[in-house]
Amino acid sequence: MSVRVEAPAAAGTEERIITVWQGRVRMRVVSKGRGPALVFFHGPWGLTWDPFLDQLAESFTVYAPDHPGTTPEAHDDVYHLDGLWDLVLCYDELLETLGIRNAAFVGHSFGGMVACEVAASYPDRVRRLAMIAPLGFWRDPDRIVNWMMLEPGALRAHIFRDPDGDAARRMFPRSDAQDAAATAARVRLMWAMGTTGKFIWPIPDKGLKKRIHRVKAPTLLVWGREDRLVPAVYADEFTRRIPGARVQMIDGAGHAPHLEQTTPVVGVLRDFLAQ
């Protein structure tokens, strides 16, 4: 069993392993850039240093931590965490260790929910909060499809507006590919879904509605107009609970607008976060 399943390091990035939780949880943090600190919380499909983060790094010092369990060689560390409260405390310890007192938070999907939970628990840690299609709420009439139960083809079609586009092809290996890289990519995807799923199964509403009123930071929601996984109606759940929060819809995108419409999303975020 010697398949290497780490994502390849991207040019110009730095990697550090931060150990939290009494030494039991190791979290890799990939960073790059100059300027004010920005923490990026990745979604259920793991962290990839992509053009989106690269463009953000032109204006900010981007810190992108791995969700516990998705750090290479530290897969089982996630078993030391029992629930969302443990996870939020881990992030507090991580930021403390990185020396980040106060930063812009950007989170996608599951990571958007985590960013919001950290912002509600530690309001002073967050300067501005931007969430891209975040999870965290549940509406019976607008049930969120359990992406963890979808076949790879259906999963692509739920994440991306164009399941055959470049962004989708970067996340998913070709279905017929059996080489080591494709295997590694499949393992990475499954394990990222499993380790993030641990905190939201079977319904991604874990009580954010009770805590979200504590968020103090100016807040922006970014949503793909054709999001088939977390419908854009969920933006209302955030805007009606966070005073002054506003929504930016992105045309030509599904659940990962920052991957399908990178330049417009980076532009929106840069404008919002630079204020």
Partner 1 sequence: MKISAFHLMPYRELPADFEQRYESVWVTPPWWELADARRVGQYYNWTLDELTYAAKCGFDGVCTNEHHQNAYGFMPSPNLMGSVLARATNGMDVAIVQMGATLPTSNPPLRVAEEYAMLDCISGGRLVAGLPLGSPMDVNLCYGITPMEHRERYREAVALTLKAWQAREIFSWNGRYFQLATVNLWPRPIQQPHPPVWIPGSGSISTFDFAVEHDVCYCFLSYSGARSAKTMMDGYWRVVAEKGRDANPYRAGFLQLVVVAENDARAEEKYARHVEYFYHKCLHVPAMWFSPPGNQDYRSLVATMSNPVRRAENPKNLRYRDFVEKGFVIAGSPATVRDRLKEEVIKSLRVGNLMVLLQIGSMPHELALENIELFGREVLPGLRGIWDDEGWVNHWWPERLRQRAVPMPAGVAAGGT
Q: What are the φ/ψ torsions at residue 241 (nearest 5 degrees)?
A: -110, -15
Single residue of 24, 51, 75, 85 touching partner 1 by CB under 8 A: 75
Stretch that binds partner 1, among 6-14, 88-96, 186-194, 240-248 (CB under 8 A): 186-194
Assess 249 for contact with partner 1 (CB under 8 A): no
CB atoms within 10 A of CB 275: 9
Interatomic CA distance for residues 118 and 152, integer angstroms? 31
Residue 274 interacts with partner 1 (CB under 8 A): yes or no: no
CB of 137 to partner 1, least distance (A): 18
Which burial class, exposed, middle or buried, applies to 95 when counting CB atoms under 10 A from its CB (0-12, 13-18, 19+)?
A: buried
Should residue 235 be labelled a site residue for partner 1 when binding is judged by CB under 8 A? no
Burial, 91: exposed, middle or buried (Cβ in 10 Å; 0-12, 13-18, 19+)? buried
Fill in the per-residue mask, 151 to 180: x = in contact with partner 1 (CB under 8 A), - = not in contact: x--------------------------x--
Residue from 89, 98, 145, 148 in contact with partner 1 (CB under 8 A) = 148
From 190, 192, 22, 36, select the one nearest 126 (Cα to Cα): 36
Size of the site for partner 1 (CB under 8 A): 27
Smallest CA-to-CA distance from 237 within 163, 111, 139 is with: 139
Q: Which string of x and - marks every residue 97-136 that binds partner 1 (by CB under 8 A)?
A: ----------------------------------------
Report if residue 78 touches partner 1, rule: CB under 8 A: yes
Q: Does the protein bind partner 1 through residue 85 (CB under 8 A)?
A: no
Q: Decide whether 66 or 226 has the Cβ nearer to partner 1.
A: 66
193 near partner 1, rule: CB under 8 A: yes
Determine which residue in the list 72, 163, 197, 252 makes contact with partner 1, applying CB under 8 A: 197
Inter-residue contact 249 to 159 (CB < 8 Å): no
33, 56 Cβ separation under 8 angstroms: yes
C-alpha to C-alpha distance for 217 and 215, rounded to whole angstroms: 6
Q: What Å distances lie between residue 145 and 7, 88, 135, 139, 235, CA to CA?
A: 27, 25, 12, 12, 17
Check binding of 201 to partner 1 (CB under 8 A).
Answer: yes
Segment (H or E) for 250:
strand 246-250
Stretch (H or E) spanning 28: strand 25-33
Q: Does 194 bind partner 1 (CB under 8 A)?
A: yes
Amino acid at 132: I
Least Cβ distance, residue 183 to partner 1 (angstroms): 5
141 binds partner 1 (CB under 8 A): no
**Which range in 15-23, 156-164, 194-202, 214-222 contacts partner 1 by CB under 8 A?**
194-202
150 makes contact with partner 1 (CB under 8 A): yes
Residues engaged in binding partner 1 (CB under 8 A): 1, 3, 5, 75-76, 78-79, 82, 148-151, 178, 183, 186-187, 190-195, 197-198, 201-203
